[in-house]
């Protein structure tokens, strides 16, 4: 019995379809729509569409709503700030929410050293600025990034991003001085090894990389997503980053952590870097920072952040006071309600259901994740691991037709990922998981009728995170 999902019309309903038609005429096709749902209001983990249907949200506006849709305390903070003033441009006149938020970010990010923070408008812009600052500090140009990485859609963001279509579709030429390494993608290990017992060759490969591809003294920074986001929620083994960061330190190379998707409690810690005891020289985040208002942050060691000369970084809207006030209220919600802990609990329930699905459904190739950032990678065959993209497309469609919004991911588009608001109730979570499970089983049956006895080869699940090799310290 569905309690939270209420469907008054088929999804999409007539009013959603009307808006979709208008959108087709007014908005270019390049800006795509994953679902055909038009939203009327949102609350917690529930979306109500313009036809009066109520859906459970496992997408959170692509990981933006960890604190929920329209958290009342955040809405109040926005209203209060909007009544005072909407904009100053930080370069023209200071605004207090900006400065207070910078202090808060310096406090809550990993590393017990002096830090500084500034703000821009999007994740891509934050990554660009982290690169600019790393180059300014080191006086080197090279950036090492990873296969299957996603860092945004600006020219530099796209150049740092791995997946070609659609993100790099005839948009070149791309930015130079970018060098790409294989990632610790255990399910599809580039070295054909199995974890454990692989000696983390993917990490030690960085030393070889410096011999074959780029000289270390020309490299400003290693840019990591501690856990891949768009690339399919790939979780490296615990030993991976300690190896990489040690090699970087030996060569004076900075470590930039892109926590745009992994940040703000998603993985069961405030930052995914904490699972690996990484203290990044620069950490960028965006998405769930302000519960939907556009703001992104760049936080780093004070001496690094002060490298660019006065007037060389910033922008018109960066650190807008309304967005900054929202972010301060979000941080308060995180601290008051311990949302990272809630992410762990949500993640345990999701993980148990996904592992159950792995036992029942041969199309489930791999289950992995950390905290509430969980994923299933679907394959047409568990031995060949041929990606099952069409199956995932059908699962996403079946889900929204039945009242659950869920997203795919992965270079091959064959991963289902969970980005539900962390304030989701247990009942809503179970109801959403019921819909997802039903859709997976039904779509898998249609795509690849299973033989009566299906062998279940290992490994079923990705490497477990923890125990971590150490604890990242925080400034007090």
- The SS3 assignment for 388 reads coil
- Answer yes or no whether residue 162 interacts with ligand PLP by CB under 6 A: no
Binding ligand PLP (rule: CB under 6 A), the pick from 105, 127, 270, 293 is 127
Of 29, 48, 52, the C-alpha closest to 39 is 48
Stretch that binds ligand PLP, among 117-125, 275-283, 303-311, 325-333 (CB under 6 A): 117-125
Q: Helix-strand-coil percent breakdown of the chain, rounded to 5?
A: 40, 15, 45
- Report CA-CA distances (Å) from 71 to 12, 42, 329: 26, 9, 9
Distance CA 40, CA 59 (A): 16
Backbone phi, then psi, for 199, in 5-degree steps? Answer: 60, 25
Judged by CB under 6 A, the number of residues near ligand PLP is 15
- Answer yes or no whether residue 148 interacts with ligand PLP by CB under 6 A: no
Distance CA 23, CA 19 (A): 6
* Residue 415 Cα to chain centre, angstroms: 14
Q: Among residue numbers 256 through 285, which ones bind ligand PLP (CB under 6 A)?
A: 258, 260-261
- Answer yes or no whether residue 357 interacts with ligand PLP by CB under 6 A: no
Stretch that binds ligand PLP, among 104-112, 121-129, 350-358, 367-375 (CB under 6 A): 121-129
- Answer yes or no whether residue 286 interacts with ligand PLP by CB under 6 A: yes
Q: What is the DSSP letter of 227?
A: S
Q: Which residue is nearest to ligand PLP (CB)?
A: 123
Comparing CB distances to ligand PLP, the nearer of 59 and 331 is: 59
Comparing CB distances to ligand PLP, the nearer of 57 and 230 is: 230
- Draw the binding track, 373-412, toward ligand PLP (x: CB under 6 A; -: no contact): ----------------------------------------
Q: What is the dihedral of CA 412, 415, 416, 417, to 10 degrees?
A: -100
CB of 296 to ligand PLP, least distance (A): 6
Binding ligand PLP (rule: CB under 6 A), the pick from 49, 57, 128, 230 is 230
Comparing CB distances to ligand PLP, the nearer of 11 and 260 is: 260
CB of 234 to ligand PLP, least distance (A): 12
What the block records as the tokens of 341 is: 């802990």
- Answer yes or no whether residue 151 interacts with ligand PLP by CB under 6 A: yes
Which letter, b or e, does each residue of 24-51 get, where b requires 16 or more Cβ atoms within 10 Å of its Cβ? eeeeeeeeeeebbbbbeebbbbbbbbbb
CB of 145 to ligand PLP, least distance (A): 11
Listed in sequence order, the DSSP H helices in 12-71 are 14-26, 60-63
Comparing CB distances to ligand PLP, the nearer of 12 and 226 is: 226
Instruction: Please give the residue ranges that form the binding site for ligand PLP (CB under 6 A).
Output: 62, 122-124, 127, 150-152, 225, 229-230, 258, 260-261, 286
């Amino acid at each position: 019995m569905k309690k939270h999902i209420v469907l008054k019309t088929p999804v999409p309903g007539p009013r959603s379809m009307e808006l979709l038609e208008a959108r087709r005429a007014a908005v270019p096709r390049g800006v795509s729509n994953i679902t055909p749902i038009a939203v009327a209001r949102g609350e917690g983990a529930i979306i109500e569409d313009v036809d009066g249907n109520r859906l459970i949200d496992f997408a959170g506006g692509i990981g933006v709503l960890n604190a929920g849709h329209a958290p009342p305390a955040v809405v109040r903070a926005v209203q209060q700030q909007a009544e005072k003033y909407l904009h100053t441009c930080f370069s023209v006149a200071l605004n207090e929410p900006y400065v207070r938020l910078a202090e808060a970010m310096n406090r809550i990010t990993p590393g017990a050293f002096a830090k500084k923070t500034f703000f821009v408008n999007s994740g891509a812009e934050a990554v660009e600025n982290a690169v600019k600052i790393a180059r300014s500090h080191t006086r080197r140009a090279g950036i090492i990034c990873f296969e299957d990485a996603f860092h945004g859609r600006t020219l530099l963001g796209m150049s740092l991003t791995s997946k070609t279509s659609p993100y790099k579709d005839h948009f070149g030429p791309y930015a130079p001085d970018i060098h790409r390494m294989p990632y610790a993608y255990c399910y599809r290990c580039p070295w054909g090894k199995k974890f454990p017992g692989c000696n983390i060759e993917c990490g030690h490969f960085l030393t070889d990389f410096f011999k074959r591809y780029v000289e270390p003294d020309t490299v400003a920074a290693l840019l990591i997503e501690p856990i891949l986001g768009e690339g399919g929620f790939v979780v490296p083994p615990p030993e991976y980053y300690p190896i990489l960061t040690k090699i970087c330190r030996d060569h004076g190379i900075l470590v930039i952590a892109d926590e745009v998707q992994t940040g703000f409690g998603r993985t069961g810690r405030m930052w995914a870097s904490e699972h690996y005891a990484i203290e990044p020289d620069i950490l960028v985040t965006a998405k769930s920072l302000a519960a939907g208002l556009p703001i992104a942050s760049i936080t780093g060691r004070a001496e690094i952040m002060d490298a660019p000369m006065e007037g060389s970084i910033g922008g018109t809207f960066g650190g807008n006071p309304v967005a900054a006030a929202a972010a301060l209220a979000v941080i308060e919600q995180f601290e008051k309600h311990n949302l990272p802990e809630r992410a762990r609990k949500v993640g345990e329930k999701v993980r148990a259901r996904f592992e159950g699905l792995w036992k029942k459904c041969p199309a489930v190739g791999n289950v992995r994740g950390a905290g509430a950032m969980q994923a299933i990678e679907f394959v047409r065959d568990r031995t060949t691991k041929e990606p099952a993209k069409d199956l995932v497309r059908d699962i996403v469609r079946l889900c929204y037709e039945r009242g659950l919004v869920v997203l795919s991911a992965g270079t091959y588009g064959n991963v289902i990922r969970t980005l539900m608001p962390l304030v989701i109730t247990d009942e809503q979570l179970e109801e959403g998981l019921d819909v997802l499970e039903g859709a997976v089983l039904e779509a898998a049956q249609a795509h690849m009728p299973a033989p009566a006895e299906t062998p279940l080869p290992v490994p079923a699940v990705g490497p477990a995170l923890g125990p971590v090799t150490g604890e990242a310290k925080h400034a007090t």
